[in-house]
Structure 1
Amino acid sequence: MDRLPAPARQLLTGRCSSFLTMAHIRITEASGIPLLGSLYFGIIDRGTNILQVRPSCGCNLNCPFCSVDAGPESKTRATSYEVEMEYLLGAVEEIARFKGEGVECHIDSPGEPLMYHRLPELVAGLRGIDCVSTISLQTNGTLLDEAKIAALESAGLDRINFSLHALDPAIARVLAGVDWFDIDQVTEAARTVARSRIDLLIAPVYIPGINDAEIPRLIRFAQECGAGKRFPPLGIQKFEHYRYGRSPKGVKAQSWWQFFNRSIKPWEEESGLVLRLDAKRDFGTVRRPFVPLAFSKGEKVTVEIRAPGWIHGEMLGVARNRVVSVYNCEKESGQVRVKIVSTKHNIYTGMPV
């Protein structure tokens, strides 16, 4: 422990040990809960040819920099969600048809997507949708083994974005937030992915003062293991503070100028790799029309409460075939009049009026 950076030692000694019992909601077509409108599950459309596909939201890690405070030691999460696969595929097919040819389905989650027990079937189902050309997956890698990688490969998965933040075993455990984290198992899974037909992209979050020395090691690891056959080998992410997330004590987020000029640029010069990624050049991302908004900001609408929200004090309402996250909601059923406060990316939030 003495050899860890000081901020990492603080994380290790300051770990939370409280656990919350979460409600688990299974979202089916019969549930009456739509798959557009929520940040937590379903489909997110950000106005490009990429659709974020979120089949569930559980997580097995307690990363101290988690943007959404997910994991078994979460202080704020009240509910987990799991979407019926057939229901999800039907919604993706409809939206992909609206988007047109060349859609990428990126399977992610505010947690760990591999906790979805029908993931290979989901990938195979997405592969069968005419307008879908690329299927990618975000994962922390802890649940990957040879059998699962082979199943995902056979199903037609194109790329895995591997959330790997350190190679030093002690720092890696701290950044995973669990004592059982095994860096050898995770790196072996990454190598197995690289040997398969699935492309591997190493996607660390750079946390200033904690994993500075680890990023160059991860760059070399990506080069050595054969990442990036068709896509870039690395996608280094900038640490940010989020309202409902976790932030390591004493860590300050960089500006984008600092991130690119003081961090990315020196790593590029040292490695000889292009680390500042371009969405269009590197991933074929292009603008596409948004699914039309169902509400306008400031509009008042009546929603039907259908399920508890993801955080305490939140409920999920439904109106116009969209989910609306209603904050500070005291009603657990029935109708609530709300004012829409945000509609960005077809994600709707409201407050009771």
Structure 2
Amino acid sequence: MIKIKPPNSYFEEDGGNIRIVWRNTLYADFEKNLLEKAIKRKFKIKAELKVEDGYLRINHENKELGNFVIFLIQNYLREFLRNKYTKRRVLYIHEGMNIPLLGYNAFGLIDRGTNLIQVRGSTGCNVSCIFCSVDEGPYSRTRILDYVVDVDYLLKWFNEVAQFKGKRLEAHLDGQGEPLVYPFIVELVQGLRENPNVSVISMQSNGALLNDKLIEELAEAGLDRVNLSIHSFDPEKAKMLMGMKDYDLNHVLEMAEALINAGIDVLFAPVIIFGINDMEAESFIEFARKIGAGKRWPALGFQNYVPYKFGRHPSVKFLSFKKFYNWLRELEEKTDMRPLVLKPEHFGMHKRRFIPLEFHVGEVVKVKIILPGRIEGEMLAVARNRLIEVINTNAKVGDEIKVKIVRTRHGIYIGTPIK
């Protein structure tokens, strides 16, 4: 009997499919009978495949057969990858593809002219918040594709950016979704900690995917702070806001304390929707004080709900930022919790020179389409070693077209096709 279980993986069986789960966040399905037929063609034997205890078992002792099955699975794994939480197809971005990691909002690196660099290793989310600005999660109606960037490739690009930006950088792990969905999150933190230009490593998270083992690994790797998205202390209301019936508020609250006990600072970052959870503000403050959040940075970062074009729009009233900041100041006076009106200096943020823009608004550029985009009518193109999001297009991968650049803000490039 041959037992197969590749590193960081395990097998599951679902009807006629064999599923390999890789690094707990990605999976690929293979038709069991097709694998058995491939073995029969190669070795002229009838093999029976069975999954037990996470292993793929084959009723033969031929080591060459085992190596052949491993080769088949690993060779086609990336082609059939899907996101465990969104079930969407995943494109795996690696160095051999020669895809730039600057220019696009969904993955790679973003420089907004400060000493903070946003690091986005993947897309996809395990929850579907009713106010999500990018319509992410299992119940998304618009997102059709996910990406994962190879960690070594991401760190290589980060190093180049860091050399330009200088020392005392903050590497902030965020994205269009949940950063803990990234399958190499611990390795990413380790690699960033080894970079001499990085002083602080922070991360956004909804906390649901945290566990004691992962927290220990992240602490050892060098994670400094988690901006934790908890939006209500009422379990049912929390489920409603997160858009998930299985959301476990108590688990996330326990993980918040576990983070602090492991030496990782916590900033609570609830999205405030007035009329729904604004009355819980003092409860957030009380809990933050109770568990010792905000040792090096502010303990709370209340966010005002803002409707976005491609996001979800609950039937609530948007409060102006003027009124929102007045509300925060009143809360500061009432609770003596400061600061609640946050400024860049509270996080050691300051202006730094931008990575020079490669394009200007109105410029016409010849580009090559290299990847499908995340929504219908969107494709990704490359020119001058930058990614460009091409919108309102029916172009295909491999096409060379002309686009007019319509946006360059913060080095994120958007173009529309022209004839």
Q: TM-score range by the shorter chain?
A: over 0.9
**2:400 matches 1:350:** no
The residue aligned with 1:80 is 146
Secondary structure of the structure 1 residue equivalent to 2:382: strand
**2:225 matches 1:159:** yes
Match of 2:401 among 336, 340, 345: 336
The residue aligned with 2:333 is 269
Cα offsets for 1:162-205 (capped at 9, x unmatched): 01111110110001100000110010000111112111111111
The residue aligned with 2:50 is none
One-letter amino acid of the counterpart of residue 268, structure 1: E
One-letter amino acid of the counterpart of residue 107, structure 2: F
Distance 1:86 1:107 in 2: 15
Q: Cα distance, 1:212 vs. partner? A: 1.5
Unaligned runs of 5+ in 2: 1-84
The residue aligned with 1:312 is 376
The residue aligned with 1:206 is 272
Distance 2:414 2:279 in 1: 40
Contact preservation (8 Å) 1:165, 1:215: no
> Greater relative contact order: 1 or 2 (C-alpha under 8 angstroms, separation 6 or more)?
1
Cα offsets for 1:253-279 (capped at 9, x unmatched): 221110011x21222122211211111
Cα offsets for 1:288-329 (capped at 9, x unmatched): 000010101000001111111111110001111111000011
Contact preservation (8 Å) 1:45, 1:52: yes
In the TM superposition, what are the counterparts of 1:179-190 in structure 2 within 5 Å? Answer: 179-190=245-256
Q: Cα distance, 1:283 vs. partner? A: 0.5
Contact preservation (8 Å) 2:86, 2:125: no
One-letter amino acid of the counterpart of residue 260, structure 1: Y
In the TM superposition, what are the counterparts of 1:98-177 in structure 2 within 5 Å? Answer: 98-177=164-243
Secondary structure of the structure 1 residue equivalent to 2:355: coil
Q: TM-score, normalised by structure 1?
A: 0.92
One-letter amino acid of the counterpart of residue 200, structure 2: T
One-letter amino acid of the counterpart of residue 250, structure 2: D
Secondary structure of the structure 1 residue equivalent to 2:209: coil
Secondary structure of the structure 2 residue equivalent to 1:317: strand
Contact preservation (8 Å) 2:129, 2:243: yes
Kindly report the root-mean-square deviation, in angstroms, between the aligned alpha carbons of the 2 structures.
Answer: 1.2
Segments of 4+ moved more than 6 angstroms = none
One-letter amino acid of the counterpart of residue 333, structure 2: E
Q: Cα distance, 1:20 vs. partner? A: 8.2
Unaligned runs of 5+ in 1: 1-18
Distance 1:20 1:36 in 2: 25
Contact preservation (8 Å) 1:97, 1:131: yes
In the TM superposition, what are the counterparts of 1:54-69 in structure 2 within 5 Å? Answer: 54-69=120-135
Distance 1:21 1:83 in 2: 17
Distance 1:326 1:292 in 2: 21
Secondary structure of the structure 2 residue equivalent to 1:77: coil
Q: Cα distance, 1:21 vs. partner? A: 6.0
Contact preservation (8 Å) 1:20, 1:75: no
One-letter amino acid of the counterpart of residue 341, structure 1: V
**2:351 matches 1:284:** no
Contact preservation (8 Å) 1:166, 1:215: no
The residue aligned with 2:38 is none
Distance of aligned partners of 1:245 and 1:23 in 2 relative to their CA distance in 1, 3 Å threshold = same
| Identity value in percent | 48
Q: Cα distance, 1:23 vs. partner? A: 3.0
**2:92 matches 1:92:** no
Secondary structure of the structure 1 residue equivalent to 2:325: helix
The residue aligned with 1:14 is none
Distance 2:112 2:384 in 1: 20
Distance of aligned partners of 1:28 and 1:294 in 2 relative to their CA distance in 1, 3 Å threshold = same
Contact preservation (8 Å) 2:86, 2:126: no
Secondary structure of the structure 1 residue equivalent to 2:278: coil
Match of 1:258 among 323, 338, 341: 323
Contact preservation (8 Å) 1:21, 1:78: no
More deviation in 20-29 or 147-156? Answer: 20-29
Match of 1:45 among 98, 103, 111: 111
Contact preservation (8 Å) 2:104, 2:388: yes
Q: TM-score, normalised by structure 2?
A: 0.78
More deviation in 79-88 or 25-34? Answer: 25-34
Secondary structure of the structure 2 residue equivalent to 1:213: helix
Match of 1:239 among 305, 312, 331: 305
Match of 2:258 among 192, 210, 225: 192
Residue correspondences, number: 332
Distance 1:20 1:144 in 2: 18
One-letter amino acid of the counterpart of residue 267, structure 1: L
Q: Cα distance, 1:117 vs. partner? A: 1.4
